[in-house]
Amino acid sequence: MYKSKNQITKKVKYGKLKIYIIISILILALMFILVFKTNFFSIDEIIVKNNNEVSRDVIIAYSGIQLHNNIFKIKLSEITKKIEKNPYIKTAKVSRKLPNKIVIEVIERKRLAAIFYMGIYFIIDNEGYVLETKNKVKDVVVIEGFEINRFSEGEKIDLSGNEDLRKVLTLCSLIQKSNIDIKPKIYYNNGNINITIEDKLKVKFGNGENIDYKFKAFLSILKYLKSKDVYTGVIDISTNGYPVYRPFDE
């Protein structure tokens, strides 16, 4: 029976299509077996980057990732949320490094100060987020005088004088960056900010306006007093006028 050229061409194309479909199905089947039925994509290493405050083991524990699980069965967004529940973790990024590695990159919150209230030290960062609570602290600036309304680890602290806390935290950051060899205490009272050094030298910063300028003036005076072996008295930089030093408080 005679077949036209068009009929033959259609038959050839149909045959090729069937071959393509069969090959595609075989490739998909092989990929499925490789991904889900072999150990080729099983997690054998978890890499944690940029962590200093939180240990690698703690971050992995928060993530919930288990070694030897299939790398494609984990949901990266869910793992990210789990890691960010740690108060010290500001942000986390989780990615796959094929065929068998998970990479966790974090940005941490750093301890800046401790607010002392009702016998408890509330460790906070430069944004006022509560990182943890402790009964004792060392190597951190202590702040007294604020009344805490509400707190939750990993959340911003809610207290009386939130705007003034911002000024106090700026002062804490300046102290930290200055690398002075002492950890003064900061006292807040009705909008006024004072610091004491070893309970001997008192510094009055007033309402905290122009805090950068006032802190530079304080450092200059402190350096001069140390050169004269003077470690007591009062440095008053509470106004925008000239700083004043007195050997004793009023």
Mean pLDDT in residue range 46-60: 97
**What pLDDT score was predicted for residue 29?**
66
**What pLDDT score was predicted for residue 161?**
81
5, amino acid identity = K
Q: Is the pLDDT of residue 236 over 90?
A: yes
Mean pLDDT in residue range 123-152: 95
Mean pLDDT in residue range 12-19: 68
32, amino acid identity = F
Helices (H) and strands (E) in the chain, counts: 5, 14
**What pLDDT score was predicted for residue 198?**
86
Q: Is the pLDDT of residue 61 over 80?
A: yes
| SS3 category, 129 | strand
Mean pLDDT in residue range 43-70: 96
Mean pLDDT in residue range 183-194: 93
Please give the Cα distance from 150 to 66 (Å, whole number).
Answer: 36
**What pLDDT score was predicted for residue 11?**
60
Range picked from 98-112, 154-168, 172-186 for highest mean pLDDT: 98-112
Mean pLDDT in residue range 99-119: 97
Please give the Cα distance from 92 to 237 (Å, whole number).
Answer: 42
Please give the Cα distance from 159 to 144 (Å, whole number).
Answer: 12
Q: Is the pLDDT of residue 33 over 80?
A: no
191, amino acid identity = G
Range picked from 45-49, 137-141, 220-224, 238-242 for highest mean pLDDT: 45-49
Task: Point out which residues pair with 96 in neighbouring strands.
Answer: 102
Mean pLDDT in residue range 94-100: 95
Please give the Cα distance from 217 to 219 (Å, whole number).
Answer: 5
Q: Is the pLDDT of residue 15 over 90?
A: no
pLDDT confidence tier of residue 7, bands split at 50, 70 and 90: low
